[in-house]
Amino acid sequence: MTRARRPPLGRSLLRLFTVQGSWNYERLQGIGVGVAEEPLLRDLRAGENGAAYRAAVARGAHFFNAHPYLCGLAVGAAARAEHEGATPEQVERLRSALCGPLGSLGDRLVWAGWLPVTSALALIGVALGLGLDAVIGFLVVYNVGHVGLRWWALWAGWTHGVRVAVALHQPLLQRAAAWSGPAMALAVGMALPLSAGYLGGAFTGWAREVLAVATAAGCALLWWGRGRLTGLRYGLALLAVAALVGWLWR
């Protein structure tokens, strides 16, 4: 059994930012996760001609798929398990068991919480006249949160090892996941009317009436064609129509 005295978590964190750069249909994030885990396994090179190190690096590159901001939890936990002498089967089971929970938790925390909340706050700021400051604020706040989450995941994985489930059941994490949905609904609910008013401010007279009709028609079409028509497709269609009308108007 080998223990790393000062694990290079910083180096592993930097590699985690590129974890999806080698994404493929066979291993999904596996190769990127293996690359991020490699710095934490270097202490295993001593003895047996580095056989333990090579085997651990190979296992780290096996199939893996989870939320990219939380996959560091699996990286740290698997690396710690390797140092503590866990069997290859235990390491594989640990990695497999973490895929689902990390994917689900990350989706709730980030894609359905942090990202839409910070985006909605930026839209509110722009609508209230903050302009570029709101955009810069979004970039700073969102990235501070997402980098902090990446670091916490890696640190927690290394700290707990095979007992990493303890980290996933922390009260603060569970409360954040529970409140992410309501916070997103509140922020987006506030941002939509303010953004609509801000964007519609440039329209006057009959143009505003056309905008109101297009909005009502879009809502009706999205409801009628749900499952087939999306807001993005409807928006792109309106842009195409607007471009054609503008060209003919000239």
Confidence bin at 5 (pLDDT 50/70/90):
low
Confidence bin at 218 (pLDDT 50/70/90):
confident
**pLDDT-above-70 percentage for the chain:** 96
Confidence bin at 189 (pLDDT 50/70/90):
very high
Residue with the larger pLDDT of the pair 69 and 247: 69
Q: Which residue has the tokens 């529970």?
A: 178
118 is written with which tokens? 């910070």
Q: Name, in order, each residue with C-beta under 8 angstroms of 178's C-beta and a sequence gap of 6 or more.
A: none
The mean of the pLDDT values for the chain is 88
* Number of helical (H) and strand (E) elements in the chain, helices listed first: 11, 0
The model carries a pTM of: 0.81
CA 168 to chain centre: 17
Instruction: Say whether pLDDT at 77 is over 90.
Output: yes
